[in-house]
Structure formats: C-alpha cells, structure tokens
A and B are shown apart, each in its own frame.
Chain A
Amino acid sequence: DVKVTQSSRYLVKRTGEKVFLECVQDMDHENMFWYRQDPGLGLRLIYFSYDVKMKEKGDIPEGYSVSREKKERFSLILESASTNQTSMYLCASSFILAGAKYGYTFGSGTRLTVV
C-alpha cells in the first residue's frame, strides 16, 4: 500500500524554536507539497517541490523553508516558531500522468502547537 508518512502526529514547541517537520513517501513521486490547514480556510499551500533540490513558494511561504535532498523526503522548517503557526500541517506527494490524470496522496498530518 502506497504511503506518505509524516514523522509526528502531534508536536508542542515553544515560541522561537526551530521546528522540523519530516515527510517521506514510498511511491517514487516527483512532486511533493506542504500545506497547512486551519478551520474555515481549507488547505493553503506553503511550499512545493517538483524535483530533488528544487523548491517553489506556494501561497503562504513566509516564516517557512523547505529542504528536499532526496526524492522521497521533503522537510518543512519553521525557522523561529510563532504562535500563529499553530496549525495542522499536511504533506502530500503526487504524480501526473498523460492526459492530466492526477494522484495526490496525503500523509496523516502533524498537529503543531506553538506555546
């Protein structure tokens, strides 16, 4: 069964800490994404990557960075955590087939609380 695995389900961090959220996929997908989910706001794209060592900003990149050193791993970094980054973070990977057929698979999410 194909999987996207996020390293932590729940995290509590202090304001100002550097936080690493890890995501690993076993499907050999080229594309990986980091979203945050807040009530009433749906899924908002933070960063995405279409290849190793490649990254692109999404809609809300401020306060975040990413790293993709290997195809299967995409890390989200909060350089200095703040309370407004308390949220559910979702990682996804995808492929695109001919004819624009999509396969997006999500991890189970990491609920981060910054105190």
Chain B
Amino acid sequence: GQQLNQSPQSMFIQEGEDVSMNCTSSSIFNTWLWYKQDPGEGPVLLIALYKAGELTSNGRLTAQFGITRKDSFLNISASIPSDVGIYFCAGPPVSNYQLIWGAGTKLIIKP
C-alpha cells in the first residue's frame, strides 16, 4: 500500500536541543496528523492539521501543513527526556478517508 516518506528514521539528540522531522507524499492530502507512541503503548494524537499552510502548536510542539498539500513537518523545541518515543505522521489522500502512515521517527535523547 501507499506509504508516506517520513524522515529521519531515527534521531539521537541531546536534552534541550530542538528537533525537526517531516513527511512527504506523492498525493495531495486534505488532513495531516501527527502521533506519538510511547514505549509499550499505542500512538496518541499530538496535532491535527486541516488546511494548507496551517501552523499549529501544542506546547513545545509545532506542526505545519505544507502549501503544496503534499508535506508536513513537526518541530519539538527544547527536548526533554519524556519526548522519547516514535513519532508518526498520517493522513488520508483526497477522496479517501482511510489513513496512510509514515514509517515513524524514533527519537532518542541522550542525557
């Protein structure tokens, strides 16, 4: 099935650093969703984006819906240890309400 291109696959960063990850698609999306999965748990929705160009924040997290409707990015500022986990992007292509998922970005924070 179709999959989004999510990068990077993993990140090793120092506590306090900013983090940036992105997703791209060959199809136009009408919604972009960003999820986080803590170890041993299911993914939890962080941010939902519904309009091209939309920029939305959730605490230290900021996500944007790309103007072309084919990409999105997620930034985390001043990372802390509880940010570790796997971050997934997801979205439905236009005319299809079934979600397509990125492969995930694993965030590891060095103390």
Binding site for B on A (CB under 8 A): 4, 9, 40-45, 48, 58-59, 90, 92, 96, 99-109
Contacts and interface: CB of A to CB of B under 8 A. Distances in A.
Interface in B59-110: 88, 90, 92, 97-99, 101-104
B42 interface: yes
A58 B98 CA distance: 10
Contacts, number: 57
A77 B103 CA distance: 25
Chain B binding site: helix, strand, loop or mixed by DSSP? loop
Contacts of A102: 31, 33, 48, 92, 97, 99
Contacts of B103: 40-42
A42 B87 CA distance: 10
A45 B97 CA distance: 14
Contact of A42 (B48, B98, B102): B102
B26 interface: no
B44 interface: yes
Contact of B1 (A45, A48, A92, A99): A45
The interface centre, meaning the residue of B35, B43, B50, B102 with most chain A CB atoms within 10 A of its CB, is: B43
B20 interface: no
The interface centre, meaning the residue of A99, A100, A101, A105 with most chain B CB atoms within 10 A of its CB, is: A100
| The 9 nearest A-B residue pairs measured at CB | A106-B42, A59-B1, A42-B103, A43-B101, A106-B43, A42-B101, A42-B104, A108-B42, A109-B42
